[in-house]
Amino acid sequence: MLNVTLALVFASFLPFQESTDKQELRYRFEKGQKVDIMMAQKMSLKLKEIPEEFQEMIGDEPLKLDFSGTISVTVTHIDEKGTTTLTGKFTKASATGTVFVEDVEFEYDAKDPDSLEEGGDEGGNPFGLDPAAMFRQLVTETLTFEVDSQGRLTQKNRTEENQLPFQISSLNGLMGPLPEKKVGVGDRWKSKEQIGLPGIGQMQINLHAENQVEKFAKVEGEDCVMIQTKFRVATAADEGAGEDSEEGMFDLDAKMTGGGSGTTTFSLSGGKLRTSSCKIDVNITANMANPQGEDNLEFKALFRVSQKFEVK
């Protein structure tokens, strides 16, 4: 009788125990499904050492941008491999800060048409940038993405008018794609990602991400997996580092070090990301050709980025 009672007591706790079985982590969408992708990224570039020629022109913190937005998309197609096409527009977006001496103050809500009024003539920008105009154009564009079953994300038909203000290659954020094989608590996998600033300059920061399953648990009634990520900035000696980056305003020969950490919660029940966040610091030493033909200009800087993703 005692054995039966103990068995019943232990059984009552089973639903609350964390799973120790290996699980396959995959995105699962349905055609016609509505999805909101919420993204936020803070970026700052603080110059520790700067040539005198640039001190008055760009200051000691030429880039400080806080962007957030919600893209509401519809699943319009799913192929036989599970690659999903998402099509939609921004419903909300905001950006504040400074982009190379150009102050940014942008707010948009699709429910308030007056929020997209044209800004004034800023003028005087030595780099020819108008970030607010870029954001106004972005939120009016229809955006199309393809997402495979591991979360790799590709923006289709990308143009200067519809490109996002920062590079995204995964719906999981900088953690990268989900693992190929089933994973259990303690299992690890690696990925290579990039932080890019399209149109601002040749700053392609290569990251090595090592992901590890921390635990399986229920979150608001959903079976989820918790993942911890450690980031390391790739050096020139690393495989894949030093690849050509897209053209921008500056031609920089840069050496970078640093890293950071992140956390991700993926819903096994829902077959999609719940949340992903990370913080990364990058120390940069760079040389740039002097337009006056003299010795190269040298910079030392700290680039910081924090990123958050939610999918609902």
Tens digit of each residue's pLDDT (9 = 90 or more) over 72-106: 999 999 999 999 999 999 999 999 998 877 889 99
Q: Tell me how far apart the alpha carbons of residues 165 and 89 are, in angstroms, rounded to a whole number.
A: 15
Contact 138, 108 (CB under 8 A): no
Model confidence band, residue 59 (pLDDT cutoffs 50, 70, 90):
confident
More confident residue, 207 or 200: 207
Contacts of 239 (CB under 8 A, 6+ apart): none
Model confidence band, residue 156 (pLDDT cutoffs 50, 70, 90):
very high
For 77, 230, 299, the CA distances from 170, given in Å and listed in that order, are: 18, 16, 31
pLDDT in the model for residue 176: 97
CATH number at residue 40: 2.30.230
**Does residue 9 belong to any structural domain of this protein?**
no
**Does residue 11 belong to any structural domain of this protein?**
no
pLDDT in the model for residue 132: 81
Q: Tell me how far apart the alpha carbons of residues 65 and 97 are, in angstroms, rounded to a whole number.
A: 5
Average pLDDT value over all residues in the chain: 84
Domain residues for the domain of 253 are 22-311
- pTM value is 0.84
**Does residue 4 belong to any structural domain of this protein?**
no
**Picking from 7-21, 33-47, 80-94, which range would have the lowest pLDDT averaged per residue?**
7-21
Model confidence band, residue 175 (pLDDT cutoffs 50, 70, 90):
very high
Average pLDDT of the residues in 58-75: 92
**Does residue 211 belong to any structural domain of this protein?**
yes
pLDDT in the model for residue 291: 63
**Does residue 160 belong to any structural domain of this protein?**
yes
**Does residue 14 belong to any structural domain of this protein?**
no
Beta-bridge partner residues of 105: 96
Number of C-beta neighbours around residue 105 at 10 A: 11
Q: Using one digit for the tens of pLDDT, what is the confidence trace for 99-131?
A: 877 889 999 999 998 878 665 444 444 445 677
Residue 7 has pLDDT above 50, yes or no: no
**Picking from 14-18, 60-64, 116-120, 226-230, which range would have the lowest pLDDT averaged per residue?**
14-18
pLDDT in the model for residue 204: 80
Q: DSSP string of the chain?
A: -HHHHHHHHHHHHGGGSPP-S-B-------TT-EEEEEEEEEEEEEEEE--HHHHHHH-S--EEEEEEEEEEEEEEEE-TT--EEEEEEEEEEEEEEEETTEEEEEEEETT-GGGGPPP------TT---HHHHHHHHHHS-EEEEE-TT-BEEEES--TTT--SS---BTTGGG-SPPSS-B-TT-EEEEEEEEE-TTT-S-EEEEEEEEEEEEEEEETTEEEEEEEEEEEE--TTSTTTT------S--EEEEEEEEEEEEEEEETTTTEEEEEEEEEEEEEEEEE--TTSSSPEEEEEEEEEEEEEEE-
Contact 9, 16 (CB under 8 A): no
More confident residue, 240 or 278: 278
Strand 153-156 to 222-233 pairing: unpaired
Contact 195, 209 (CB under 8 A): no
Phi-psi region of 221 (alpha: psi -120 to 50; beta: other; left: phi over 0): left
Q: Tell me how far apart the alpha carbons of residues 232 and 282 are, in angstroms, rounded to a whole number.
A: 9
Average pLDDT of the residues in 136-151: 96
Contacts of 188 (CB under 8 A, 6+ apart): 210, 211, 212, 213
**Does residue 245 belong to any structural domain of this protein?**
yes
Start-to-end C-alpha separation, the chain: 48
Residue 19 has pLDDT above 70, yes or no: no
Number of structural domains in the chain = 1
**Does residue 60 belong to any structural domain of this protein?**
yes
Model confidence band, residue 309 (pLDDT cutoffs 50, 70, 90):
very high
**Picking from 5-19, 46-60, 289-303, which range would have the lowest pLDDT averaged per residue?**
5-19
